[in-house]
Amino acid sequence: MADNSEYQALCARSEALGKAAPDVMKAFGALHGAVVKEGALTVKTKELIALMISVIVKCHPCIQAHTRGCIAAGVTREELAEAIGVAVMMGGGPATAYGGIVLDLFDQLKK
């Protein structure tokens, strides 16, 4: 899962959507920038929240993006595993499958 093809496809689709709906993507980019910055919650915490929501809603492209965001924010494997536990509590069996995907991707990207 850590080959970059899925992530590159996400980037290409986002770029295409930006050309097709520039106002929407510009607004989404502004929203993302406003949300994912230091505040009462750290960027690390916000990326973990976004990644666990991605697990719960089973969004593969979101998992690709936010796993990378977690790594960039300095999330440790232990923090990730604990957050996956919360996602499993809230999402049940499917979250265990997607949580495993996230942990595998994290490990591969950290190599």
Give domain 2-14+42-108's CATH architecture. Answer: Up-down Bundle (1.20)
pTM: 0.88
Backbone angles phi, psi at 102, to 5 degrees: -65, -45
> pLDDT by residue (tens digit) across 43-91?
999 999 999 999 999 999 999 999 999 999 999 999 999 999 999 999 9
CA pair distance 42, 75, nearest whole angstrom: 11
| Domain edges within the chain | 2-14+42-108
